[in-house]
Amino acid sequence: MIALLASACGSKVESPEPSESAGDELAAPEVDVSESEAEEAPPTPSIDEILQGEHRSDEERARDAYRHPRETLAFFGVEPGKDVLELAPGGGWYTRILAPLLRHEGSLTVGLPDGRYGDTFRKLAEEDPEFYGSVRTVRLAPQEGAPLGEPESYDVALTFRNIHGWINAGIDEAVFTAVFNALRPGGVFGVVQHREVEGRELDASRGYVPEAYVIALAEKVGFELDERSEINANPKDTKDHASGVFSLPPAMRGDEPEEEKARLAEIGESDRMTLRFKKPAN
């Protein structure tokens, strides 16, 4: 049982039933809460309490040094009370931070693609319904015209290291358009992505994408670049690895000899752009 979630939730949460609405795979659970119980509900844990929570493994905490979740979420304006959409969460590294942060104030919805990348998250939700019970899901299938929930229903949308995959699948513009439609006016689209050397030819199969490409794509569908940050930069990353970004931790999928693997491990995780876009308020 997860200590952090247990302390943050004073009510009984039933297992979610499948939604009948199009594109919604797990509806928000029904919560049986009396007025007195609602008054006694513990406050939302702080981001520091969440990062140190027992629900996070040692391996997850070790990646904080490269992913900078506290600073990144603050830069994107993620806080209790916001309605947040996380796209293609994969193994749920960020979800395990966002879920307790938004459980009682605001909401968290994850956009799940079809196939193994979505199935990974679905399996996690099935294995731990208490933790994931308040997390809503929508189908991420913009190539079919599927919306990411109701139009203008989120304050913040987030994507972490997904854009190269969308480019490879030919759906990057469709995803960005769907996000634009799902955000409220003035809403934020927060992007973290492996960053290619500017001027190098686009080859998303290596995992890296030029920052200029991402900015141009976002602006094409209507977003405005609000600010960029070097929170997740890594100047040690030379971006010339045999297997691209996948040669680096945490994947390290290449066939390099052991001495080369040691050098790659010393580099750490990839150099990443961190971009904050806004949907115009008007």
* Nearest-5° Cα angle at 51, 46 to 57: 150
CA 160, CA 110: separation in Å to the nearest integer?
Answer: 12
Contact yes or no for 28/136 (Cβ under 8 A): yes
Arithmetic mean of pLDDT, 257-269: 93
Predicted local confidence at residue 281, as pLDDT: 95
Tokens of 105: 């104030």
With 0-12 / 13-18 / 19 or more C-beta atoms within 10 angstroms meaning exposed / middle / buried, residue 85 is: buried
Hey, how many other C-beta atoms are within 10 angstroms of the C-beta on 216? 11
The share of the chain scoring above pLDDT 90, in percent, equals: 82
**Residue scoring higher pLDDT (33 or 236):** 236
Over the chain, what is the mean pLDDT? Answer: 89
In order of 100, 131, 163, the CA distances from 127 in angstroms are 17, 9, 28
Mind listing the domains of the chain with CATH numbers? Answer: 69-227+270-278 (3.40.50.150)
The share of the chain scoring above pLDDT 70, in percent, equals: 85
pLDDT bucket at 41, cuts 50 / 70 / 90: low
Hey, how many other C-beta atoms are within 10 angstroms of the C-beta on 66? 15
Contacts of 156 (CB under 8 A, 6+ apart): 76, 77, 78, 82, 83, 84, 85, 183, 187, 188, 189, 190
Query: Taking every pair of C-alpha atoms in the chain, what is the biggest distance, in angstroms?
Result: 63
The DSSP line for the chain is --HHHHHH--SEEPPPPPP-STT-SBPPPPEE--HHHHHHPPPPPPHHHHHT-TTS-HHHHHTHHHH-HHHHHHHTT--TT-EEEEE--TTTTTHHHHHHHHSSSSEEEEEE-SSHHHHHHHHHHHH-HHHHTT-EEEE--GGGT--SSSTT-EEEEEEES-HHHHHHHT-HHHHHHHHHHHEEEEEEEEEEEEBPPTTSPP-GGGS-B-HHHHHHHHHHHT-EEEEEE-TT--TT--S--TTGGGGSTTT--S---HHHHHHHHHH-SPPEEEEEEE----
In order of 148, 219, 263, the CA distances from 177 in angstroms are 10, 10, 40
Tokens of 141: 């299938």
What is the model's pTM? Answer: 0.85
pLDDT digits (tens, 9 = 90+) for 139-189: 999 999 999 999 999 999 999 999 999 999 999 999 999 999 999 999 999
